[in-house]
């Protein structure tokens, strides 16, 4: 039964991937049609055609190998320009594709400016960006469905746990022992259930803000005000400690940061489109940083291997 369930979920997952591919191609096709480009084919899959139907001037269909999809926009290859010299292999392939496409182009297509290359630059950009935009829209709707209907666990400004002592990293224990240094949070008098409202006179509106302030504080003084049982309590001033934490944008880097010694409450919260867009912006930024650093990391791995081999 577990095998059947796994196969079933695998088929559903693959089907959803193909749906996203189909929607991606629709993202290209719709603006192309709006701008008057002739679209002869819209296909999901590759290889021999399994099923198709013609609506207007476009053939819509499904092919036997569901490994992608495509939409044909007539006029992707402009007329051939005369060039001196012997054409290379790539030029020969492009010329073959050009000849095949132009065999289907009629004088009416040229006169009516139905070809992609005849469109204005901004229209071409809209058509080309339509596919990626559809992928972004799909991601937004999926995230909004999860965030809006079910919710996401998010850290709060209310403290759930206060670590009582600083345990050395090489210590083989999790409990405090005699002589251990109190954490800044314990020394300040923080308690579970306290809600932090001020950190160094800065009003706290979210745990992300509070975490950023603590990190940036390094080993400087920290004046904390909390709300406890309905009253504001000014805690004993302390100094945060410096520790190594993973960088927010590049988790592979360890950077120095201030440390207080608390864990926040995690609450299942729902959110609207603005929250979803903020989450997506953060994830996009982290992904771009990771992609930008990927070549450097590959180079470093290769260099390390070369040094090991030489040694």
Sign of the alpha-carbon dihedral angle for 159, 177, 169, 256: positive
Q: What is the pLDDT of residue 54?
A: 96
pLDDT of residue 83: 59
Q: What is the pLDDT of residues 1-37, one digit of tens each?
A: 588 888 888 889 889 999 999 999 999 999 999 999 9
In the 8-state DSSP scheme, what is residue 204?
P
pLDDT digits (tens, 9 = 90+) for 228-266: 999 999 999 999 999 988 887 777 788 999 999 999 999
Q: Write down the catalytic residue from 25, 113, 208, 234.
A: 25
104-142: string of b/e by CB count within 10 Å (b at 16+)? ebeeebeeeebbbebbeeebbebbbebbeebeeebeeee
Q: Token pair of 135, please?
A: 């992928």
Would you report the helix, strand and coil content of the chain in percent, each value rounded to 5? 45, 25, 30
Where are the domains positioned within the chain? 2-150, 153-169+177-269
Sign of CA dihedral 165, 171, 174, 176: negative
Query: Which pLDDT value is given to residue 302?
Result: 72
Q: Which residues of the chain have pLDDT under 50?
A: none
pLDDT at 252: 75
Torsion angle, CA of 265/250/133/39, rounded to 10 degrees? Answer: -140
Query: If you compute the radius of gyration of the chain from its CA atoms, what whole number of angstroms results?
Result: 30
First to last CA, the chain: 53
Give 106's DSSP letter: -
What per-residue string of b and e applies to 251-279 under the rule 16 or more CB within 10 Å gives b? eeeeeebbbbbbebbeeeeebeeebbeeb
25 is catalytic: yes
CATH of domain 153-169+177-269: 2.30.42.10
């Amino acid at each position: 039964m577990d095998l059947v369930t796994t196969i079933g979920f695998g088929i559903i997952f693959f089907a959803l991937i193909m749906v996203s591919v189909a929607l991606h191609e629709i993202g290209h096709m719709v603006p192309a049609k709006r701008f008057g480009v002739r679209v002869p084919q819209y296909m999901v899959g590759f290889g021999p055609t399994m099923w198709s139907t013609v609506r207007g001037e476009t053939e819509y269909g499904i092919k036997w190998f569901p490994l992608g999809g495509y939409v044909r926009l007539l006029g992707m290859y402009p007329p051939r320009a005369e060039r001196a010299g012997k054409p290379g292999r790539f030029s020969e392939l492009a010329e073959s594709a050009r000849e095949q496409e132009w065999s289907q182009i009629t004088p009416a297509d040229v006169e009516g400016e139905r070809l992609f290359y005849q469109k204005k630059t901004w229209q071409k950009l809209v058509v080309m960006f339509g596919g990626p935009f559809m992928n972004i829209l799909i991601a937004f709707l999926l995230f909004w469905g999860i965030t809006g209907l079910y919710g996401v666990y998010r850290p709060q400004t209310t403290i759930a746990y206060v670590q009582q002592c600083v345990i050395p990293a090489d210590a083989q224990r999790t409990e405090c022992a005699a002589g251990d240094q109190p954490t800044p949070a314990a020394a300040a008098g923080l308690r579970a259930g306290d809600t932090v409202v001020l950190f160094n006179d800065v009003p706290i509106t979210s745990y992300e803000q509070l975490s950023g302030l603590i990190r940036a504080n390094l080993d400087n003084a920290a004046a904390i005000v909390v709300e406890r049982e309905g009253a504001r309590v000014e805690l004993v001033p302390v100094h945060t400690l410096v520790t190594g934490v993973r960088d927010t944008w590049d988790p592979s880097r360890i950077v120095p940061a201030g440390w207080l010694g608390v864990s926040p409450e995690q609450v299942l919260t729902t959110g609207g489109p603005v929250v979803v867009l903020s989450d997506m912006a953060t994830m996009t930024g982290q992904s771009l940083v990771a992609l930008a650093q990927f070549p450097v990391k590959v180079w470093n791995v290769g260099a390390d291997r070369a040094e090991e081999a030489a040694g």
